[in-house]
Amino acid sequence: MEREIICTSCPMGCHVTVTMEEERIISITGNTCARGERYARSEITNPTRTLTTTVAVAGGGVLPVKSDAPLPKKSIPQYLEKIHEVTVEPPVLIGDVVIEDICGSGVNIVAAQNVI
């Protein structure tokens, strides 16, 4: 089986082809740098994403937040559920930790905007 992905590790946007046999990667082609191979391998075996969303602000409004490191893509619904339970009290500054170590992942959810 072959799967084509577009690498996002650098601005080149290489079309990388991953050839698999059952669950095993046989070859990775089409990348122009080593980062492309690492990206393809990761995307096939354990895709991750930086999570961006909002949390409620006490008194009204929302605060944009993001994860400070990529999280496993398959667990994003679980993280979103936990994040949407949170209401923050102003003031909150960019980079402040809104949720520490979300769901035991080792990743923090941080403010992406100031709320004074």
Q: What is the spatial distance between Cα 38 and Cα 47, in angstroms, rounded to a whole number?
A: 11
Residues written for the chain? 116
Same domain, 57 and 102: yes
Domain range for 27 = 2-45
**Paired tokens of 107:** 């990743």
**Paired tokens of 90:** 């102003």
Same domain, 80 and 99: yes
Establish if 39 belongs to a structural domain. Answer: yes
Same domain, 39 and 56: no
Summarize pLDDT for 73-111 with one digit per residue, the tens.
999 999 999 999 999 999 999 999 999 999 999 999 999
Q: pTM of the predicted model, to two decimals? A: 0.85
Summarize pLDDT for 33-80 with one digit per residue, the tens.
999 999 999 999 999 999 999 999 999 999 999 999 999 999 999 999
Same domain, 17 and 61: no
Establish if 116 belongs to a structural domain. Answer: no
**Paired tokens of 64:** 């944009």
Same domain, 16 and 56: no
**Domain total of the chain:** 2
Q: Which of 66, 41, 113, 56 is nearest to 89 (CA)?
A: 56
Same domain, 41 and 65: no
Predicted pLDDT of residue 64 = 98
